[in-house]
Amino acid sequence: MVTIAVTAERDGEPRVAVSPETVKKLTALGCLVRVQAGAGARSRFADDTLKAAGAAIAGSASEALAGADILLKVRRPSPDEVQALKPGAMVAAILAPFDDRAGLEALANTGASLMAMELMPRISRAQSMDVLSSQANLAGYKAVVDAAGKFGQAIPMMMTAAGTVPAAKVFIMGVGVAGLQAIATAKRLGAIITATDVRPATKEQVASLGAKFIAVEDEEFKQAQTAAGYAKPMSAEYQRKQAELVASHIKSQDIVITTALIPGRPAPKLISKAMIESMKPGSVIVDLAAERGGNTDVTKPDEDVNHKGVLIVGPTNLAGDVPVNASSLYAKNLLAFLETMIDKKDKTLKVNWDDEIVKGTLVAKDGKIVHPSLQKGA
């Protein structure tokens, strides 16, 4: 039997790596799921509910971990946690493998097979395992809801006997997974929406959601998407033209949601101090790129900055602010991943180390860091 351990996350991380639904499915696959008491509380998964779904509730983290084959976490676990598992056990989590190299090496030294869920290849077979998408989608939604809450004015146009309330203008910068959900959410609230990106494929997506696309559509724009579907870093000349366009547009916007990212690089700076100062007092910017340096000149991670009457919000874990949904989806991503590795007949762990999704996510094995993008000089 495959034993799966789930322990509580640290303070500040409300999500958890299993849900009642995934416990039920993992149990049906023949696994024993040991969950530390209280681990699901912040996602409103009570111990009793998890127990009814088939989990064994462990009184402590060490009781949940002892000799387990697999550890499921949201964030990177400590080496002590991993040491308590069976030698060579498997760990699946959002490992942030490019941060804190010494910490990652310490974790690798335990000999466990470390799987970084955020490195899941973006191929159609792995869509159900794509944690970046499941969490970014919720973050895009929550960014708009939070912005609406902080805006202090109504979003939809309202025609009343006492007068007309104008619709708010919402500008979405970066139309990946989070940006598309931000457009859809702002649309439901009745905003007038514009959106921009450097990838030409987004133009049609924006229009199909009922928003207006604006961008510098020159020759460079036509080539701005990599084969993997991500944005390329843009030239200084393009950035200058883009800044001109943003400067003329942003001054009339009430809410701006920024989500622009380029893999492996700091977030591109799209909004300068001068642009913020051109906006009306009371306007709100929610910068989803805060964790990677931010898309504005004044963003501070996990702080609300009031710059001359404009509020710039820099959340780093917005999906964690809707933990019930975020944990449910994250747990489903993990379940879909594990289903490819558990032999349904003899109920054992059979990892195919040559599988693209395993190779893509495997960060360390047998004490060594093995992922190509983490080799020195990569």
Site for ligand NAD contains 264 (CB under 6 A): no
Which residue has its beta carbon closest to ligand NAD?
176
Q: Taking Cα atoms as reference points, which of 158, 136, 150 lies closest to residue 255? A: 150
Q: Which residue has the tokens 């040491």?
A: 83
CB 177 within 8 A of CB 133: yes
- For this structure, is 238 an active site residue? no
Strands 113-116 and 90-94: parallel
Cβ atoms within 10 A of the Cβ of 229, count?
10
Burial of 243 (0-12, 13-18, 19+ CB in 10 A): middle
We find the least distance from the C-beta atom of residue 118 to ligand NAD, in angstroms, to be: 10
**Site mask, ligand NAD, residues 219-258, x = CB under 6 A?**
----------xxx--x------------------------
- For this structure, is 375 an active site residue? no
We find the least distance from the C-beta atom of residue 84 to ligand NAD, in angstroms, to be: 34
Task: Considering the complex, state which of residue 93 and residue 178 has its C-beta at the smaller distance from ligand NAD.
Answer: 178
| Residue 26 parent element (H or E) | helix 20-28
Amino acid, res. 318: L
Phi, psi of 359 (to 5 degrees): -60, -40
We find the least distance from the C-beta atom of residue 185 to ligand NAD, in angstroms, to be: 15
Active-site hit among 19, 36, 133, 181: 133
CB 207 within 8 A of CB 224: no
- For this structure, is 230 an active site residue? yes
**Site mask, ligand NAD, residues 197-226, x = CB under 6 A?**
xxx--x------------------------
Alpha carbons 348 and 351: distance in angstroms, whole number: 10
From candidates 36, 133, 134, 328, binder to ligand NAD by CB under 6 A? 133
Residue 58: strand, helix, or coil: strand
**Site mask, ligand NAD, residues 155-184, x = CB under 6 A?**
------------------xxxxxxx-----
Task: Considering the complex, state which of residue 136 and residue 138 has its C-beta at the smaller distance from ligand NAD.
Answer: 136
Burial of 49 (0-12, 13-18, 19+ CB in 10 A): middle
From candidates 2, 148, 261, 311, binder to ligand NAD by CB under 6 A? 261
Stretch that binds ligand NAD, among 52-60, 95-103, 127-135, 358-366 (CB under 6 A): 127-135
Alpha carbons 122 and 258: distance in angstroms, whole number: 22
Q: Taking Cα atoms as reference points, which of 182, 168, 184 lies closest to residue 279? A: 168
Stretch that binds ligand NAD, among 10-18, 129-137, 149-157, 346-354 (CB under 6 A): 129-137
- For this structure, is 130 an active site residue? yes
- For this structure, is 265 an active site residue? no
From candidates 2, 55, 136, 341, binder to ligand NAD by CB under 6 A? 136
Site for ligand NAD contains 357 (CB under 6 A): no
Cβ atoms within 10 A of the Cβ of 285, count?
29
Q: Taking Cα atoms as reference points, which of 64, 67, 73, 61 lies closest to residue 85? A: 67
Active site residues: 122, 127, 130, 133, 230
By CB under 6 A, name the binding residues for ligand NAD.
Answer: 122, 124, 127, 130, 132-133, 136, 173-179, 196-199, 202, 229-231, 234, 259-263, 268, 270
